């Protein structure tokens, strides 16, 4: 089978298309013939070596993929050959609270991932893909959508009528926008681009703030809520945006700390966090159960589809990462492995 490996040392220039032997499933495992993969900022960091500099190489990167079950190991009963399945981001975390062991089972590092024609997964580490979603659409869900679901619903307990602020218009943020709207919440989006804000409004966002033109976007967001503050912030910026997120949040509100696009370390003034009883919740993707809940919610909202920016052929995987690096995308970038 063909697979991309990060080979020798980290760096996009070392992402190499190679030939590997076909995979054989052990007891409780299944081999999936992948049809499509989607890429996340994490995958780019993994390739660059900034996500986990100690990651052993060679590694097949990319956490998210969908495909058909090709071969079953001994004792497998949950799926059958031919089932179209979505691989879970964390192979060993299906429900409940995380443990160190459970959260060290993610695809695309430390385990080999989905930028390949085949992948070996656990039988409980896949969920059937609904017929309502194309391969490309289903491939977008395991990391970005489950993260947004965990932040707002699984952990955030979002209620109808609440206000959610989502930062930017990347994969996680647009899923958060869609999930918030499904649950009857008001959404404020920030973006570096006025054109992207228009597109976010077409997806259901109520308000948009250009964070480049308005560095005090947290204050602007609070003003949009009659100075009450938003109930929930989907924080993908991290260190460089946290201060404005605190300004945007109402007393008792939640900041879901998901990404560090604007830095991972900073001096934070913690006083307003405690003086306003703000909850800061770290989010590390989520469980297989959350993927199931997300699919159930999408089944009742059939008009809500993952937003796909661009689909690249398998042979152009490096270009797909170049597109992600460029930051011009709106939503998800997909790599089609086979038709």
**Least distance to ligand NAP from the beta carbon of 171, Å?**
4
Report d(CA 240, CA 218) in Å as an integer.
Answer: 12
Q: Dig out the tokens for 95 from the structure.
A: 């429900």
Question: Are the CB atoms for 41 and 170 separated by under 8 Å?
Answer: yes
The torsion region of residue 204 among left (phi > 0), alpha (psi -120 to 50) and beta comes to: left
Give phi and psi for 207, each to the nearest 5.
-140, 155
3-class DSSP state for residue 107?
strand
Which residues of the chain form contacts with ligand NAP (CB under 6 A)?
40-42, 143-144, 147, 167-173, 190-193, 196, 211, 236-237, 240-241, 258-262, 283-285, 324, 327
Nearer Cβ to ligand NAP (117/321): 321
- Closest-CA residue to 171 (of 293, 66, 310): 310
Listed in sequence order, the DSSP H helices in the chain are 41-48, 135-138, 146-149, 171-182, 194-202, 217-224, 242-248, 271-275, 288-299, 317-326
Q: Dig out the tokens for 320 from the structure.
A: 């797909």
**Least distance to ligand NAP from the beta carbon of 33, Å?**
25
**Least distance to ligand NAP from the beta carbon of 6, Å?**
17
Report d(CA 261, CA 304) in Å as an integer.
Answer: 26
Question: Are the CB atoms for 245 and 279 separated by under 8 Å?
Answer: no
Nearer Cβ to ligand NAP (236/298): 236
Nearer Cβ to ligand NAP (25/259): 259
**Least distance to ligand NAP from the beta carbon of 248, Å?**
12
Q: Residue with CB nearest ligand NAP?
A: 170
Nearer Cβ to ligand NAP (84/329): 329
For residue 59, the 8-state DSSP code is B
**Least distance to ligand NAP from the beta carbon of 192, Å?**
3
Nearer Cβ to ligand NAP (97/300): 97
**Least distance to ligand NAP from the beta carbon of 209, Å?**
10
Nearer Cβ to ligand NAP (172/188): 172
């Amino acid at each position: 089978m063909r697979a991309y490996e990060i080979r020798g040392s980290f760096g996009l220039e070392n992402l190499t298309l190679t030939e590997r032997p076909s995979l054989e499933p052990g007891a409780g495992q299944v081999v999936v013939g992948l049809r499509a993969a989607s890429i996340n900022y994490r995958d780019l960091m993994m390739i660059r070596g900034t996500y986990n500099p100690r990651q052993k190489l060679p590694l097949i990167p990319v956490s998210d993929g969908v495909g058909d079950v090709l071969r079953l190991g001994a004792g497998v009963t949950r799926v059958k050959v031919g089932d179209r399945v979505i691989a879970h981001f964390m192979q060993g975390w299906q429900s409940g609270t995380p443990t160190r062991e459970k959260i060290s089972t993610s695809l695309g590092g430390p385990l080999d991932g989905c930028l390949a024609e085949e992948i070996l997964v656990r039988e409980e580490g896949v969920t059937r893909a609904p017929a309502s979603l194309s391969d490309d659409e289903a491939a977008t869900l395991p990391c970005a959508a489950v993260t947004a679901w965990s932040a707002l619903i699984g952990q955030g307990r979002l209620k109808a009528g609440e206000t959610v602020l989502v930062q930017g218009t990347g994969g996680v943020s647009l899923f958060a926008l869609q999930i918030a709207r499904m649950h009857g919440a008001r959404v404020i989006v920030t973006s570096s681009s006025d054109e992207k804000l228009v597109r976010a409004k077409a997806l259901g966002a109520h308000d948009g703030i250009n964070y480049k033109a308005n560095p005090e976007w947290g204050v602007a967001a609070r003003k949009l809520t009659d100075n009450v503050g938003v109930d929930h912030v989907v924080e993908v910026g991290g260190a460089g945006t946290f201060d404005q997120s605190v300004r945007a949040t109402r007393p008792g509100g939640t900041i879901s700390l998901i990404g560090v696009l604007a830095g991972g370390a900073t001096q934070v003034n913690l006083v307003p966090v405690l003086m306003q009883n703000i909850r800061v919740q770290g989010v590390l993707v989520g469980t297989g159960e959350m993927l199931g809940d997300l699919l159930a919610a999408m089944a009742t909202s059939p008009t809500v589809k993952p937003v796909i920016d661009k689909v690249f052929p398998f042979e152009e995987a490096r270009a797909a990462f170049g597109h992600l690096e460029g930051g011009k995308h709106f939503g998800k970038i997909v790599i089609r492995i086979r038709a």
